Amino acid sequence: MKFLHSLLCIGFLLLSVHNVAAQTNEWTVEDVINQARASSLTFSPDGNAMVWVKSQPDKEKDASQSDLYLTHLDKRENGDYKTVQLTRGNESDYSPLFSTDGETIYFLSSRDEGKKLWAMSTLGGEPYEVHEFETGISNIQWMGKQNLAFESNEGKTLYEQKYEEMKDNTVVVEDTAHFKASRIYSFDLQEKDIQRLTDNEYPVGEYEVSEDGQWMVTSHIMSPSYAADANPKPNYYLWNLEDGTKQQILKSGYQTPGNFEFTADGNGFYFVSVISSDPEWNGAGKSVLHYYSVKNNSVSDVPIDWEWGLGGGFDVFGNDVMVSLANGPTRKLAYLEKNGTNWRKKSVDAGDMDEHVTVTAVGEDHRKLVYVYSTASLPPQYRLAELNEKRRSVEIPEGNEVIKLNEYLDKKKKAKTEVVRWTGAMDEEVNGILYYPHDYEEGKKYPLVVTIHGGPSGVDLDQWNESWTDFNNIMAQKGAFVLQPNYHGSGNHGQEFVESIKGHYYEYELPDVVSGVEMLVDQGKVDPDSMGVKGWSNGAIITTMLTVKHPDMFKVAAPGAGDVNWTSDYGTCSFGVSFDQSYFGGAPWDDTNGKIFNETYVQKSPLFEMEKIKTPTIIFHGSEDRAVPRDQGWEYYRALQQIDQAPVRFLWFPGQPHGLQKITHQTRKMKEEIRWFDKYLFGTYKKENEAFKKESPIADLLTKDKAQTDTGLFGVMKDGVLIPETVSMKKDSTAIGRFEVTNAQYAAFDDNYSYADVRANYPVTGISKENAEQYIQWLNNQTNEKYRLPNAEEAESLNKQARKVATSENTLNYWAGYDITYDDVAEFRKKLDELDHSMLKEVGSYKAVKVGEAEVYDLGGNAAEWHSGSTQNNTYGYSAVSYVDERSETPQTSIRYTGFRVIKE
């Protein structure tokens, strides 16, 4: 898919305790952060395989890690397509390409400073180096059958070397004399020969090579400050790679042309441009599709016949093209069949998936494809299908899931969602995505969290959207509605809608949001006294102004990376000139009477109205943000801190750009924001004792104190009877006995069982497995609940936990007083025969271990424990007479030192 906007399908694997704890359906910060995503999906030439990149957070790297995977489309294992991981390690691998015979995969990697081309056989084996490129290699594409095109530069100039030798790291902001070009080169895979293909003076912005390797189109950035002032515009060239000639194309009439893709016959390429009322500033508008004929050197407007233009880009199917059309909170697909210089539009039938399908890969047969099906309530499903072309339509069947990611989310409860519509500013319809509370009951009023997208020409779609900025299911889990409004100025709604706020910034967006909130209040869904607002980038800008203009509406606000002073934004934002010129109609100094400055740059800057804010506000910024510089956050914070009318907290993340990259920073941002909402909206915040460490001797002692009755016995009283305490291994899951069953607990069942008073809290031992099962049956009858012994699988998992701590608990190794060896054990045991009393200790004598989320004692020693399996050894764990040896799976014990603990369903 040639995307107009990048889509984030963030993702990850959940760590759990195998065979012990049932997975909880409760959302955590880690569930959101740790999502994996698939990208760069590429079919093999024969269509029987697909290589792709899996990206997921790496805790050790504190960043995203990407590896290559190969999926065999002609092989199945347990009903799924056979998938193998091709690369792994500490470096990221990306940009995979199949060789023309399908037997080799070429790719790039961050290893060795990213200067090498790598390859590996599709049959397996280690990746190997193909060639090292001294000046780097990026953006590889096929050109013909044995040559790769790539982007690089010519190396360091003498000017650069001089300052490098001086260790001078001065940043020269504007230096057109030393504006360094990147160029396109070719690499012959057989001869290992490199040829320069372009002689451009300015850097390559984008390039695309035709399938046969004859033609190439390039764009070139003409100024280091292009992003800021939108001028001068890029130049575009068409290159004939056979004879080495070039011609400048698209000289005028097109705003930001790009997303080039050649047709299969090589006779031309499709591209996208934007139509807006202020192209001189690259203003927001609607996207349209064009076709450039190489033969005629002419451009045709592709008749998509859709007023709102493109929404999600396009995909080329041979010479035809499938387009994603802007449709407000969704996208519609259409197929345009090319016939000479004309196109015939066909509808695309995706059945129940309609308006929720995004094409991600197209096979070389131009019929096989992989698409993503997703809704706001459904995580992305990657499906493989064959395009079924009919006379008037094209059908995308349901297909089969070809890539399965983030399966841990299957068990998570997901909010019910729907597209909602209401009347906003200028009496025009606006829409948004509404997430319901997880345990919603009709007729009950709930808190509301308004989450506002950025842009402002971004859009909230009815598709999966869980990320470190928008964690809607966590808020829904807390019992809140979440509204994501598509206010005036949002994209995907046509040119008039996206441009409506130019010259009217804030004037329509705020009424849109407020009207949506009032609609939910009027419907009886939302408690008007329990509402919060948050957003990132332009979402933060709107959030801030809402707290200025409606100081009593929201109980809490969380703006991230938002502006408060438009005068300073003009000069310090990397695109401040183009943005402010487009939306505000000029520079601060443009008019002689100061109207623009006074009525726009001052009156529309929240900084000058901060005394109105009553909302507790937490502010986030990245220190290296050039889209909304961090100093905007300082101005924001300083004003609220000095006015002292609302609680304020300000966090900035070192080294981070506009979008946070580090996993630790994404996690911290989420946790801080959740705490802020817990405190000021949900009322569930409990201040932590910051001097108290959860893993400490005092914490262990406090846990054991809470586990004792008033008489000092471990356990809990139920209907006057002492029974074992159990703790859940995950929320709402199976529970396990915190301690082994004690003498005092067992005596409540067996009137004939006796013990010394001082041993009331010692584990009951010396009883048979049958006795233990009889106790559990009595316990079930006594409590009307279901208890049991651990089963064989649970015992195996518990045994692994026990092995980790056994050497430091009550085992033979402890009693020996030295690092006893296997050869000493037999002789040492003779000394045990001289003992008259038990070697047992009171339950909980050693530090607890984690089993899921439960803190459990005595797994590593004291008494071995019965399980319900029918294996040869019916016990697990270690006892005071067990020798701990990592080379022996089965610890030795005796019935004298065997007890049990309970599992509660």
Between 811 and 562, the higher pLDDT residue = 562
Give residue 250's pLDDT. 97
Judge whether residue 699 has pLDDT over 70.
no
Give residue 34's pLDDT. 95
Judge whether residue 756 has pLDDT over 80.
yes
- pLDDT bin (cut points 50, 70, 90) of residue 13 is very low
Task: Report cis status (omega within 30 of 0) of the bond before 232.
Answer: yes
853-869 confidence digits (pLDDT tens): 888 999 888 999 999 98
The answer to whether residues 845 and 811 touch, using CB atoms and an 8 Å cutoff, is no
The answer to whether residues 461 and 414 touch, using CB atoms and an 8 Å cutoff, is no
Judge whether residue 845 has pLDDT over 70.
yes
Give residue 385's pLDDT. 95
Identity (one letter) of the amino acid at 482?
A: V
Range 512-518 average pLDDT: 98
Judge whether residue 12 has pLDDT over 50.
no
Query: pTM, whole model, 2 decimals?
Result: 0.83
- pLDDT bin (cut points 50, 70, 90) of residue 499 is very high
The answer to whether residues 451 and 483 touch, using CB atoms and an 8 Å cutoff, is yes
Judge whether residue 5 has pLDDT over 50.
no
One-letter-per-residue 3-state SS of 668-717: HHHHHHHHHHHHHHHCCCCCCCCCCCCCCHHHHHHHHHHCECCCCCECEE
Range 682-707 average pLDDT: 74
Identity (one letter) of the amino acid at 853?
A: E
Give residue 518's pLDDT. 98
Strand partners, 217: 208, 238
241-250 confidence digits (pLDDT tens): 999 999 999 9
227-271 confidence digits (pLDDT tens): 777 888 999 999 999 999 999 999 999 999 999 999 999 999 999
Judge whether residue 689 has pLDDT over 80.
no
The mean pLDDT value of the chain amounts to 91
Give residue 20's pLDDT. 32
Range 861-889 average pLDDT: 83
Judge whether residue 132 has pLDDT over 90.
yes
Concatenating the DSSP letter of every residue in 359-409 gives EEEE-TTSSEEEEEEEETTEEEEEEEEE-EE-SSEEE----EEEE---GGG
450-463 confidence digits (pLDDT tens): 999 999 999 999 99
109 CB contacts (<8 Å, ≥6 apart)?
Answer: 87, 91, 92, 93, 94, 116, 118, 127
Range 314-331 average pLDDT: 97
Range 437-457 average pLDDT: 96
Range 731-740 average pLDDT: 85
Judge whether residue 7 has pLDDT over 50.
no
Judge whether residue 55 has pLDDT over 90.
yes
Range 825-830 average pLDDT: 85
Range 724-752 average pLDDT: 89
Give residue 21's pLDDT. 32
> What are the Cα distances from residue 714, in Å, to 495, 745, 795, 823?
71, 8, 23, 38
Judge whether residue 494 has pLDDT over 90.
yes
481 CB contacts (<8 Å, ≥6 apart)?
Answer: 434, 435, 436, 437, 446, 447, 448, 449, 520, 525, 526
- pLDDT bin (cut points 50, 70, 90) of residue 482 is very high
Give residue 593's pLDDT. 74
- pLDDT bin (cut points 50, 70, 90) of residue 732 is low
Give residue 701's pLDDT. 64
Determine the Cα–Cα distance for residues 899 and 805; give it in Å rounded to an integer. Answer: 19
Q: How far is CA 115 from the centre of its chain?
A: 28
- What tokens appear for 853 in the block? 């989320």
**Residue with token string 């080329």:** 316
Determine the Cα–Cα distance for residues 751 and 775; give it in Å rounded to an integer. Answer: 12
Judge whether residue 885 has pLDDT over 50.
yes
Q: How far is CA 880 from the centre of its chain?
A: 47
Determine the Cα–Cα distance for residues 846 and 859; give it in Å rounded to an integer. Answer: 10
Highest mean pLDDT: which range of 152-156, 526-530, 858-862: 526-530
- pLDDT bin (cut points 50, 70, 90) of residue 441 is very high
Range of weakest confidence among 120-124, 836-840, 849-853 = 836-840
**Residue with token string 């089993």:** 851
Residue of 451, 516, 527, 453 lying closest to 490 (CA atoms): 453
Q: How far is CA 841 from the centre of its chain?
A: 48
Range 422-441 average pLDDT: 97
Give the length of the chain: 905
832 CB contacts (<8 Å, ≥6 apart)?
Answer: 839, 881
- What tokens appear for 496 in the block? 């008039």
84 CB contacts (<8 Å, ≥6 apart)?
Answer: 69, 70, 72, 124
Determine the Cα–Cα distance for residues 358 and 396; give it in Å rounded to an integer. Answer: 11
- pLDDT bin (cut points 50, 70, 90) of residue 748 is very high
Identity (one letter) of the amino acid at 833?
A: D
- pLDDT bin (cut points 50, 70, 90) of residue 18 is very low
